[in-house]
Each structure stands twice: as C-alpha cells, then as structure tokens.
Amino acid sequence: MNIQRKRPRYQYIVFLLLMLGITFCTAGCGDGKVVLPSYDDEVEPANNISMFAVVSRLDEVNNEITLKAVNYGTELELSYTGGADIKDKYGDIMSISQVELGSMVDVVYDANRNKLVSLYMSANDKVQRLEEVSGAEIDYLEKTMRIDGRTYQMGKSVCAFSDNTEIDLDEICSEDQLTVWLYNDLVCSLYVELGHGYVRLSDYASYIGGMVEIGYDVIVPVTEDMLLTVREGKYTLRISKDDDVGTKEVEVVKNQELDLSLADLAIEPKLTGSVLFSVTPADAAVYIDGRKINTEGAVELTYGKHKIYIAAEGYQTYSASFNVKYAYKIKEYVLQSEDATTQNKTTAKTTTQTTEKSTSTATTETNTKESSRDDNVKDVTNAAGTKTDNKVTVAAPSGATIYFDGEYIGIAPMSFTKVTGSHIITLSMLGYLSKSYTVTFTDDGKDETLKYDDLISITSLIQ
C-alpha cells in the first residue's frame, strides 16, 4: 500500500521537470542561441593608487594617457573615460584636451584596470611653471639648465616635448621659446612653445666680414654659405658692413628652410655708439658678436642688437644680448663666483685631467700633429669660446652639410676645431629637412665623435 501511494508522487515530479525543460527550450533554444546569465563586470574591487607624474603622451582617439613618475621615470599607460575627474590647480573642471604634455599632475588610478580615476594639475608649492623662457642654455655634461642668469639642475628623468610629441633634449636650441616645469628647483620637463627654422643667405658676397642680425639673439659674422638657426616668427633682418647697413622683412617657419637673397636690401645710414664695458673680475675675457674685445677703453658699435659673452676662471659664464641706441654708455657686468661644491668638483676634475694628460702627453702631441696635417679639420673662426688642440668629428649622417653656429664647415664625415662652450650644429641636405642639435664642449684634452640620425626626406612626408 505504501508503494502504491508514493509512485504517483514520483511520476508527478518527473512530469514537472519535463514541463520546465520544454519551457526553457521554447524561450531560449528556438533560435539556436543559449541564454547565459549576466554578471557584473566589476569582479574585483577598485584598487586606487596615487601618483605624482609628468604627462608624456595623450591619445584622444583611443582615450589613453601616458604618465612618467617624477624623479623615477617609470612610465604608466592608462585608459580614461568622460567620467574621469580632471581639474586645474585651482579646482576648476577642465577637459582632457586642455592638459599639456610636460604638465606636472597629481593622479589617482585604478591599478586593477589601469584606468584613470582623477587628474589634477599639481598645486604643490614646490612646483613651478616658467613660461616664455628664452635663451635657455643646456649643459649636457653637467646636466644643468641656465635660465635668466640662474642655473638649475636637471632631473634624471627630465623629458622634452614639441608639437605634442616627445623629443630628445639635444633637439632644443637656445633660439627656442620654452615652457619649463620645475619641482623643488629641479628641471623635470620642457615644452617647445616656439621652435626654430632655418635661413640660408644668398647674394651675400659684398657683406662677407660684416654682421647679420635676425630673430632672437642671432648675431653672427657673415661667412660663405651660411645656414642660420632662427626662432619661428616674423623679423626684420639687419646686416651691416663698414658704412652699409641694410634691412629686410622675413618670416621663419618652424622646421622649414628659407632661401633669402641680400641683393635687394634697403640700405640705412650707419649710426654708431661708444660703449665702455666695466667687468668684474677685471681679467675676464669679453666677446662681442663672437670677437674678443679690449675693455680698457670704449668700444665703437653700430646701433642695434649685439651679443656679449663673458668668461673667467672660477666664475659662471655670462651670455646675453643688448641694444646700442645711444651715443655713449657704460655697461657694468659682475660675474657670479662658482659655489664651493662646484669649485671642489672643478678642482677634482682638473686634478684628474692633469693626471691623464701627464700620462698621455706623447699621444696628445701626436694627435695634434696629425690633426694639423689633416686638411679635413676645419678651423672654426667665428664661434664664441676658447679653441682647443682637439677636434670634433661629425661622422653621420654621411653626405650631410655641416654648419657650426651657422658657419659652413664641410660635408660629413668631417672634422673641425673643438671650441669650448654651448654651440648649435646644423645638418642640411638637398631634399631633406634640416636638423639642429645643441652640444657642449669642454677643454678635456679629448677628441669628440658625433653620430646623428639620418635626415628625414621631404618626399616621405608628402607620401
């Protein structure tokens, strides 16, 4: 009896299961698709991490941003959405497109998804943003940058940008206008606000030996086959020789070369003024427009812009421009002495160099004699600085025309006299974009060999 009562209940359960199977099949299997249950994609809780960084890349097409940790150089690539919290240092909302490369920012990101949560322009008191910086001098040997007479140390992971792309530091020239970010007086990043183009002079024969002035701080003697590196913009070119002074309006475009004829210059009457230079220390070497002068008496200079360079042992060098627009004036310059740390470094370095020289005198003399017999070693005559007994060889790119501070040197591979200080090497080749690099040389008793990347073909850009 018990078995008969339980059997119908078992059959009833089987019947219900069959009906449920038919129902699911009708709802989800009729079109051959299997309906799976959906789950929340957020399987892990957010792991938010803070970071003090420099913005090094921004891809608005793929919604990606790349950051470099300040003083560490560690790179991190993050995705972002419209929900990311972006604000300026005052707490006002801004769009991601307003964030500049090189900016120093405080970031929070989700480490589990590599996703940007928030980005604030840093309001840290130790962060400085210097705008419209002109005439900056970078010393690649000492890892320093001189701005308006003050020297800053550069960070280990310092990076530079131009046209929303990261570039090498040596692609920056003193003619460029920069934005510079500092943290605790340490240079962390640079952005080229205004870059440089090139001016090639033609019909210049009657002006050789004179002076040409164009753009920002470009004041050089006129030589054969010149190629000048000039900040982009519109300028009045001014050229003078003896009693002739001529002007011409020019426009320099970034990364482009301008062929400029001097045949149709407008001649101006020549005006001159007397300048007495009072320099401390008194034994400092003073160069005006690349030529050493005697500071014991007044110097006669034509009206207009001139460049001064002052150097003395134990003091920081000084370089600047000044205008002559007066009949007579006294200009005073006081060099800043090097600090004790720098002097100790210099003393140690000098001692080391002296030891090295004393153990390799014969080799140095042999190299010097060989260089004097080598017709390919060009004697640099117009560059500011001290000539050394060594040479600089530009080995690549082969076939490129070499200019040193605008002066024609020769065709690579080519060697020229090593001159101390900061200089601009420009490479040019027909059908290719010209390229400038900044170099720094010291009198260390060594020859230098430089190899640069191939120039970019203009045809490849058109294609």
pLDDT given at position 325: 85
Quickly state the pLDDT bin for 36 (edges 50, 70, 90).
very low
Nearest to 104 by CA among 157, 172, 173, 151: 157
Residue 217: pLDDT over 80: no
Residue 139: pLDDT over 60: yes
Could you count the other beta carbons within 10 Å of the beta carbon of residue 34?
6
Quickly state the pLDDT bin for 290 (edges 50, 70, 90).
confident
pLDDT given at position 126: 95
pLDDT given at position 353: 41
| List of long-range contacts for 124-130, beta carbons under 8 Å, 24+ apart | 124/52, 124/183, 126/183, 126/184, 127/181, 127/182, 127/183, 128/181, 128/182, 128/183, 128/185, 129/104, 129/179, 129/180, 129/181, 129/182, 130/178, 130/179, 130/180, 130/181, 130/182
pLDDT given at position 349: 43
Q: What pTM was estimated for this model as a whole? A: 0.67
pLDDT given at position 207: 86
Q: What is the pLDDT of residues 380-406, one digit of tens each?
A: 877 888 899 999 999 999 999 999 988
- Quick one: average pLDDT of 266-288? 86
Rounded mean pLDDT of the chain?
A: 82
What domains are there in the chain, each with its CATH number?
48-121 (2.40.50.320), 196-268 (2.60.40), 272-334 (2.60.40), 374-459 (2.60.40.1120)
Question: What residues contact residue 125 under an 8 Å CB cut-off, 6+ apart?
Answer: none
* Least confident residue range of 23-37, 93-107, 211-225, 422-436: 23-37
Residue 241: pLDDT over 90: no
pLDDT given at position 130: 95
Quickly state the pLDDT bin for 178 (edges 50, 70, 90).
very high
pLDDT given at position 373: 38
Quickly state the pLDDT bin for 58 (edges 50, 70, 90).
very high
- Quick one: average pLDDT of 116-130? 95
Q: What is the pLDDT of residues 63-108, one digit of tens each?
A: 999 999 997 778 999 999 999 999 999 999 999 999 999 999 999 9
Is the Cβ–Cβ distance between 210 and 222 less than 8 Å? yes
Give percent of the chain with pLDDT exceeding 70.
81
pLDDT given at position 210: 87
* Least confident residue range of 144-158, 210-224, 347-361: 347-361
Q: What does residue 181 show for φ and ψ, rounded to 5 degrees?
A: -105, 130
Residue 144: pLDDT over 80: yes
